[in-house]
Structure 1
Amino acid sequence: MSNRRRRARAGRVIFGVAAVAAVGAAAAAGLGLPERGSDAGTPTSTLPAKTAQVSKQTLVDTENHDGKLGHGDSRTLSGRGAGTLTEVPAVGAVVQRGQALYRADNTPVVLLYGSMPSYRNLTVGDEGADVKQLEENLAELGYTGFTVDDKYSSSTASAVKKWQGDLGITKTGTVEAARIVYATGAVRVDEHKAEAGDPAGGAILAYTSTVPVVSVDLDPEDHRLAKSGTAVTVKLPDGKSVAGKIAVVQTVIQPAQGNTPAETKYRLSITPDDTKAFDGLDQMTVTVTFTAGKRENVLAVPVQALLALAEGGYGVQVVENGAAKVVAVKVGLFAAGKVEVTGDGISAGTVVGMPG
């Protein structure tokens, strides 16, 4: 059973403790609690064999879920031009702005940065956001002599000719749509979909981000954990723990398979606080620890100190001046074997009974 399933089961038992009083003694015994029968305010004839003190502390309830350390979701790149595929970068290679993602008929198809796809040929007289995106990239690559705006001018065409000359292709001053692939940043070649000698018009390669991330899929009932910016801890297979945070939260639908219906999941992308913490790591299972709840400076007792009251609810056996009595308490957060309690006469240092 996975850490996530074990923790989820434990969470359902612990957080269902308030319902134990309603379902009877058998369920209470399952939590290590005594059967119902004590009455609040009733003195007991015998002192407990063991005791513990009420403590004032911060309770942190955590949940563990399995994650996969990799480079995030991959995206397939398909060629849009004719010809023959002549070169594909090695798997794991990083391609940056201005470099070739692949070569067809021994000419490069170039990576540029941007969010708008290359959807048309660009030439003098064209206007639009795609023109500005191209010009921004030319400027970043060191080409000058034009104004970065949304107009493809003759000056832009001159800069394009210089760029085409450096790429080793015909200097036309017109940018072919199939010559450019836009991505939001540098990419990492994740998988080959074709090899040199194949047609350049189909799926060629799959790529990912260059930044290692941890992906975690959560069930809908765990939505409270799926908050962007939340701090988490990632435990690597070698036992090392890395601090990180949730960078992206996506809702994804996993298609039905056979008799298994489609499922909705929250897919989290987690990045380390230290950007070098995941360097050199890829394709491994990790454990991600989430903080499910936190209560600061509260009164807490061991869970075993709780008594199920005959009238409903819970209490603790307070030991004072050589005598013991049952005091009703209100329970709050459960965490790490402790439970938050409040009640009349309950304070830090109060001595309570424990099962022998």
Structure 2
Amino acid sequence: MTATPKSRRRVLVGVSAVATLSLGVGVAAGSRIQSPADAAAKTAAPKASQITVPVEKKALSSKVVARGDTSFDGAVNIRVETSGLRTAAVVTGKVPAVGSTIKAGEVLLEIAGRPVIGLAGVLPMYRTLSPGSSGPDVLQLEQTLDKLGYDPGTVDKKYDSSTAQAIEELYESVGYEAPEPEEQLTQAVDQADKTVDQMKNALRQAQAALKQAKAQPGKTDFSVELGQVSDAQENLDDAETALSEAEFKAGTPLPVSEVVFVKTLPRRVDDVKVERGGTVNGVVMSVSGASLVVTVKVDAATKERLKTGMAATFDLGDGTIIQATVRRITRNADQFDVVVAPKTLTSAQLERLREANVRVTIPVKSTAGKVLAVPLAALSAGSDGSSRVEVLRDGKIELIPVTVGLSADGFAQVTPAGDAKLSEGDQVVVGK
């Protein structure tokens, strides 16, 4: 059958549409096909470039920073020697409150109606002291009395009348009667006083006999009467000497039960072991230093960088910085305890810091003002071991030899060596 003109046009249009569609698919497919070189170029990492930072001018400070616990320095237990008491060691008053401060020359406690006075000293009170006593404990007592303003006379190892007088003044200042000597000593004074009276009477009698003999007519030999007067005078002198010695020995004593020596005062009362009406048996209270300290633990390497007297600070946590000083450094097993003491604290700060943990900073070394400084990452070593930095100038890298000073907080002090130039703001390479 012969195709009509109309049907031939339909075939031509269909062929044309198919050709056009095929061409579009081919173009699309061709646009998605890449050569290996093109693919590698698109996936390759970007070319590396230098990371730089500017040289700074700043003050550097090397420091030890650590956390430490607060405490009151030097806790000790206080005992009262009551073996010399003739009555039960009953607490009758003056019981201190926890947190109160005990001071030198003040009453710590009252036992059997008598005071227990606190004094500063390293030797314990191990015996009753009285006129005639001598030794290092007497020297310590006189030194303490002298510091408190009670004149003990010559500060030596001898307890004399001046020492006894100073003790009387001490007791008067705390509101108590001075201690009484033992009864046998006062009895000895009474007996010696009676003997003096007897010897005075004997002397008067001898002098009267001599006077009567001289009044007798014709008598010229008075040797017997003179001898009696001489003997009576000598006996009186001896009696008066004995009285002076008895009175000296019966001077004001210091009972072993009425004084406690503590290494240093003042101190804070941490714990009280007795109560009014109770009996003393051993420790009566625990006390620590009245001054608060912070103890930081460091290793041996850090300890070598520190020394007593260094300035320090610690942070209260609210931005308040407390100035302090390194008080002492002691070994504690395989570590070291660094004790830092604040210079001043308000009562509010003291309470806030009680049993706290704080951040302590101890500057070890610092530069004298601002210096050129670069990050530690900017430093590199040359083949000869010298230090250098890379400076990017006008798109080019220059190696600048430097002398390295103090390093701190990730920075190092640098000084250009020789004729090299390095200034604040220069860009130094720290990475790529």
Map residues 158-177 of structure 1 onto 2, 5 A cutoff: 158-161=165-168, 163-164=170-171, 166-168=175-177, 170-172=179-181, 173-177=252-256
Q: Which residue of 2 aligns with 1:348?
A: 423
Question: Greater Rg, structure 1 or structure 2?
Answer: 2
Change (3 A) 1:274 1:348: farther
User: Is 1:270 the equivalent of 2:340?
Assistant: yes
1:241 aligned residue? 321
Identify the residue that residue 320 of structure 1 maps to in structure 2: 393
State the Cα deviation string for residues 181-238 of structure 1 (Å, max 9, x = none): 1232222101223444554231221111212222223222211343111111111133
Conserved? CA contact 2:73–2:290, under 8 Å:
no
The Cα of 1:175 is off from its aligned counterpart by: 1.1
Match of 2:159 among 134, 152, 158: 152
Deviations 1:90-128 (A, max 9, x none): 101111222222232342211012343323321111233
Alpha-carbon distance between aligned partners in 1 of 2:361 and 2:171, rounded to the nearest angstrom: 51
User: How far apart, in 2, do the equivalents of 1:337 and 1:121 lie?
Assistant: 65
Which of the pair is proportionally richer in helix?
A: 2
CA contact (8 A) 1:225 1:290 kept: no
Is residue 373 of structure 2 the alignment partner of residue 294 of structure 1? no
The aligned amino acid for 1:100 is: V
Identity rate of aligned residues, in percent? 29
Could you say if the C-alpha distance between residues 319 and 71 of structure 1 is closer, same or farther in structure 2, counting changes exceeding 3 Å?
A: same
Instruction: Please list the CA deviations of residues 135-170 of structure 1 after superposition, one character each: whole Å capped at 9, or x if unmatched.
Output: 3444565656x5242222234334435655642464
C-alpha separation between the residues in 1 aligned to 2:399 and 2:76?
63
* CA 1:189–1:50: 2 relative to 1, 3 Å: same
Distance change >3 Å, CA 319–CA 237, structure 1 → 2 = closer
Structure 2: how far apart are the matches of 1:106 and 1:354? 79
What letter matches 1:243 in structure 2?
Q
Structure 1 unaligned regions, length at least 5: 1-45, 254-262
Partner SS for 1:167: coil
**1:66 positional shift:** 1.1
TM-score between the two structures when normalised by the length of structure 1: 0.71
Q: 1:99 aligns with which of 76, 101, 106?
A: 106
Is the contact made by 1:161 and 1:171 (CA closer than 8 Å) also made in structure 2?
no
The offset of 1:347, in angstroms, is 2.1
Superposed CA deviations along residues 68-102 of structure 1, whole A, max 9, x for unmatched, are: 23321311112321523444311011112222222
1:348 alignment partner AA: S
Q: Which runs of 5+ in 2 are unaligned?
A: 1-46, 84-88, 182-251
1:125 aligns with 2:132: yes
Q: What is the CA–CA distance in structure 1 between the aligned matches of 2:118 and 2:385, rounded to whole Å?
A: 68
**Root mean square deviation, CA, Å:** 3.2
If the length of structure 2 is used for normalisation, what is the TM-score? 0.60
Counterparts in 2 of 1:1-356, with a 5 A limit? 48=49, 50-82=51-83, 83-87=89-93, 88-138=95-145, 143=150, 147-150=153-156, 151-161=158-168, 163-164=170-171, 166-168=175-177, 170-172=179-181, 173-183=252-262, 184-249=264-329, 251-253=330-332, 263-274=333-344, 276=346, 278-281=349-352, 282-296=354-368, 298-307=371-380, 315-327=388-400, 329=402, 331-342=404-415, 344=417, 345-349=420-424, 350-355=426-431
Opposite residue 294 of structure 1, the aligned amino acid is S
